[in-house]
Chain A
Amino acid sequence: MSILPRSSSTHFSMHHLTHLQRLEAESIHVMREVVAETENPVMLYSIGKDSSVMLHLARKAFHPAPLPFPLLHVDTTWKFREMYAMRDQVAREPGIELRVYRNPEAIELGINPFTHGSAVHTDVWKTQGLRRALDEFGFDAAFGGARRDEEKSRAKERIFSFRTAQHHWDPKNQRPELWNLYNARKHRGESFRVFPLSNWTELDVWQYIHLENIPIVSLYLAAERPVVERDGALIVVDDDRMPLAAGERPQLRRVRFRTLGCYPLTGAVESDADTLPAVIREMLLARTSERQGRLIDQDSASSMEKKKQEGYF
């Protein structure tokens, strides 16, 4: 090993970085690489906890400059009302450019989870919607808040995940990704999905939100909410578009969410955790994964991989 430098750093006592500091630095490094190496990046903003962390990290990465890319919300019109309120609030903050995209085809066909089922709803609003949005705006790199600990096929994905001009992911033929040297080269029309939070776990995300005081929607905290049971999942009736069976009456139950999506497709969990520390404590005791509450993932055993290949996040 080389000789120690004679400079001041010889007298320097070791600073131990915490696990979260390392994760934070890695995520910021990824974001800066994208900005340096791609032409037209965008950050997908879904209003969930991971998006909130990602946005917080992006602000740090480019401070004191404003974000060098816009945020994009691929809307399905079926999110929780509180999510829309939060999104609109973020959009009003200085230095933030937020675009909302609703797939015109889905609007025209009136796609919704009740008439068309979760698979069609997700495909047309989210998968097709995202592809069309990226094409229309000509984005060549899109940040997403997905983490490898979420799901088996995510655990296989690169941080810089290459997509063909048709937005396909080829899981059997991913580019090698060594050290922190990311290859962002591509031909016209091809693009990258980039996952700065790849190495974060659900617990890391909650700890970081707690430590950094990051605003999140209160749906993550327990409260009395009107709930109906569908296929074993607790669905919060967020507005009057939810068709109820004859005699079915929403019941008030103390619930919260571990993950957020379209309200008719997102299962709540019974919980008393109404503060962040309580949420973290509950996480430590949790016996099920956060994705369990997502109805869309249960359509088939390898549904996530298939959706991803087709261009879903």
Chain B
Amino acid sequence: MITFSEQQLKTPKYMRDVYLVTGGNSEFRRAFPEKRTEELCIEALQEACDYINTTPQELKKHIHSCYYGHFADHFGDQLLGEAVIHDRLGLDPLGNVGIKTGGATGGSTLWEASKAVASGYSDCVLAMGWERMDEVPTDEGNNYIASAADKDWETPLGHIYTGYYAVMAQRYWQIFGKEEDSFRRTMAEIAVKNRGYACHNPFAQAPLKITVDDVIASPVVAFPLRALDCCLMSVGAACAILADEETAYALTDTPQLIYVAAGSHTLRVADRRNMEIPLLPNETKDQYKDLGKEFPGGDRYPGFTGFLAARMSAYYGYRMAGVVDPTRDLDLVELHDAFTISDIQTYEDIGIRPYGLGRTYVESGDCYHTNPNTKAPGKLPANLSGGLIGCMHAVGATGIMQTIECMYHLHGRHGEIHGDERRWERFGKQKPADWEDLQVEGANRALAISHAGVGSHVTATIVVNPDHRLDK
């Protein structure tokens, strides 16, 4: 059993507070044949400026360094795409750097940007992420995604990403889901919920009203995963402006504290060895003693059925922000629902539920805006944006989009942004007659999880209203 040293488990430290000043998203679609990438980035930046009543010209005067998240250069057939965007935004001669950590690229971009402010290197930075997946056919796109595995020898054998996910999902399904029909239906509930929430989000790519039975009738991708259990592939951009306290309050009256932490695990899942599970503040040492009795085969955990990288990001991030119990201390979460089953696995890694009991977060109704069982507000609503299943997965932008959605709730401006008729019109969409304001009343703290591959990189971004910071 591998254990971690005290130095490795140190709570990460910012040398000063870091604030989220503003942010914005472009619209997200499967394809934008009529829009160039920089137009999408400018759209996101303009949204961020409008949000605090400023202009790109004015905001740019404050920016001191730039962080760009963009996963697959191949998609746009353009190496150094980050530098191209930097030039087109007119941000030369500021220092800029491209960040690539697969599906977690958006979260990692915020991670790098926050450290630049925390260290004092910059007082104000731009974090911008995007993805362009519409310039290659889907087959070729999948090939690029497969290239994120160990291409030397794994991919020729057909040991690919979705296959790895499937064997992990199978193991979780058999041990913790006990292959129960009820567990399969719980997975489907997530797919129904997130697509349903996307109906109220004008930025979202795939709003859809479906039922649990529709999900269960959709084609099998790799059992038990079906087509409607899987996330989207999108084009779009998202950006955030981070700053120190003085700059943040010069730009807006209501900046929010932001904390970003990261973890990793081996790219090849077969390399994952038996490691200690670092405990979150709401867990106890002997809590998992009998896990193997309750769920036979579930004693060596996590590693292959959970995401150690997610556990590490929460381990660091909760301590940075003072979060003890996520369900009590947070008001909403945006999770990386790449697949419904990986969403359930993540609930356990980040301490929303103990290992083995992830499904109860859905079954209790806690993950809903309004609990369908009690009709009271959900205890910790998840993915009100629609998530990766209903809103988007434009890889480099995803982790930033999630954070911006959290910001809207903390400002009490979710309805203003999502309900604006002009925005629906500008995107060429009809605002639904049954549009609902999904604002979480009185939200002060939120979490976004950004996740790569089969859990190779995960970041936890926590946004906090400074009047409601937690004791550490």
A, B assembled together? no
